Amino acid sequence: MTERKAFTETSHQETVEQLIALLSEKLKSVDHPFVTVDGPCASGKTTLAEEVAKKIHASVVHTDEYVVPHAQKTAERLSVPGGNCDVDRLVREVVVPWKKGLPVLFQRYDCRADRMMPPESLPDCSVLILEGSYSNLPAIREHADVRIFLNTPWQIREKRLAERESEASLRRFQDLWIPLENAYFAAYGLPDDLCIVFSPG
């Protein structure tokens, strides 16, 4: 990719179809294709990644399962853009082994229970999709073959958050998670010119 592609005011189905066509073309000659799907909260990253995965024999890993454990979530760490993501462990367990064609054995972190889940193997697949905020941190994106960014309008995202979150959880998004995401996007100039941007309407 040498310049940004932008798909504006697309429906969800159009976004899925365009992304599948784009990936099918771009990943033909890539060994162990690695795709990232980034964007602000409630932009539709998980839904899009999982729908596309079914069509192209991909497995999906979620950055939400690689947040830093509560004990490491200090004010100092969270002051660093993207510091909420356990990027070193994510790259070590998932990204580098996948790109090298090695078996991927990874551990999800259960944020609610504050515990690591048992190790598991990545299912057999042809493409790995990493979806979630912080999937464009430098240590991750240097390995990516295709980087997708969802730029969903705020009014759509706000409605989704209101529908799925409790009142207390919604306040936490507004007071903490959204500002942290915005700081990350600003710090790394996202979406940058190598992102393929979709703006689902």
Model pTM? 0.93
* Helix-strand-coil split of the chain, %, nearest 5: 45, 20, 35
For 120-175, the pLDDT digits (tens) are 999 999 999 999 999 999 999 999 999 999 999 999 999 999 999 999 898 989 99
**Of 25, 38, 12, 43, which is closest to residue 195 (Cα–Cα)?**
38
Q: Which helix (H) or strand (E) holds 88?
A: helix 87-90
Q: What is the pLDDT of residue 3?
A: 55
Place of tokens 């179809």: 17
Confidence at residue 1, expressed as pLDDT on a 0 to 100 scale: 42
Q: What is the pLDDT of residue 176?
A: 86
The alpha carbon dihedral of 193, 85, 143, 44 has a sign of: negative
**Residue 2, pLDDT above cutoff 80:** no
What pLDDT does residue 27 have? 86
What are the tokens at 26? 């771009």
Determine the 3-state secondary structure of 159 from DSSP.
helix
Quick check: 192 pLDDT over 50? yes
Question: pLDDT, tens digit, for every residue of 82-116?
Answer: 999 999 999 999 999 999 999 999 999 999 899 99
DSSP conformational letter for 27: T
| SS3 category, 101 | coil
- DSSP code, position 100: T
Under CATH, to which class is 5-200 assigned?
Answer: alpha beta
Tens-place pLDDT, residues 34-71 = 999 999 999 999 999 999 999 999 999 999 999 999 99
The domain spans of the chain are 5-200
Over residues 28-33, mean pLDDT: 92
Q: Tell me the pLDDT band of 10, cut-offs 50, 70 and 90.
A: confident
Q: How confident is the model at residue 33 (pLDDT cuts 50, 70, 90)?
A: very high
Lookup: tokens for 68: 């830093």
Q: How far apart are CA 12 and CA 46, in angstroms?
A: 12
Query: Residue 124: which residues within 8 A CB-CB, separation 6 or more?
Result: none
- Distance of alpha carbon 85 from alpha carbon 81, whole angstroms: 9
Average pLDDT along the chain: 93
Say how far apart CA 160 and CA 155 lie, in whole Å: 9
Distances (CA, A) of 24 to 19, 46, 156: 8, 20, 29
pLDDT at 24: 87
In the numeric block, the tokens 């060994």 are attached to 31
